[in-house]
Structure 1
Amino acid sequence: MHPAPTPSKALIRQPALCNWLDLSRSGLDKLRKKDPTFPKPLKDGDSRQAAAFYVVAEVEAWLQAKIAKRDEAA
C-alpha cells in the first residue's frame, strides 16, 4: 500500500520537522541562521510562544536543492 501523497501546502509543526530532519530545536535554529535559503516558518500568532509551522513542500524543495547541489559537485 502506497502512502497518500502529501498536499503541496501541508504544514508541519516545528517539533515534527526537527524529528524529520533529525535535529534538535537548537540545531534547527542554527541551520536557519547559517542557511538563508532554509524556508521561513509561519507563526500561529504574534507571541514568542506561538506555534511555528513550516510548509512541507518548501522544506522538500529545499532538500531537493541541497541534494542537487551535492550531486553537481560530485
Structure 2
Amino acid sequence: MTKARIPITTGKVNLVTGTQTIKSARWPFGRNKFYELVKANLIKPHFTHEGARPVYSVEEINAAFQPCNA
C-alpha cells in the first residue's frame, strides 16, 4: 500500500520550487524569464538541506514580478 503524498506546510508558505513558480497563475512569466531573474540574482536559490533541489523565496519572486500597468 502506498501513502498519498501530502504537502506539509503550516502557516504562510515562504518558499516554492521553480516549477511551482513557473506554472503558477500568480506570476505569469515563463521558464526563460524566471531563470533570467535567477541568473541576475534577483531571485536567489535556497537549499533546505545538502543535496536538496533549490527553492525560492515568495517575497523575492513578488519583488521581481512587476505587472505592466500600461
Higher helix share: 1
Q: Given that residues 39 and 54 in structure 1 are in contact (C-alpha distance below 8 angstroms), is that contact kept between their aligned partners in structure 2?
A: yes
In the superposition, the TM-score normalised over structure 1's length comes to: 0.50
Paired-residue identity, %: 20
Aligned Cα root-mean-square deviation (Å): 2.8
Q: Match of 2:56, as an amino acid?
A: Y
Written as runs of structure 1 = structure 2, the 5 A alignment for 1:1-74 is 7=12, 10-20=14-24, 21-24=28-31, 27=32, 28-29=34-35, 31=36, 32-33=38-39, 36-47=40-51, 50-64=52-66, 67=67
Over 4 Å off, 4+ runs: none
In the superposition, the TM-score normalised over structure 2's length comes to: 0.52
1: CA distance between counterparts of 2:46 and 2:53?
8
Which segments of 5 or more consecutive residues in structure 2 lack a partner in the other structure?
1-10
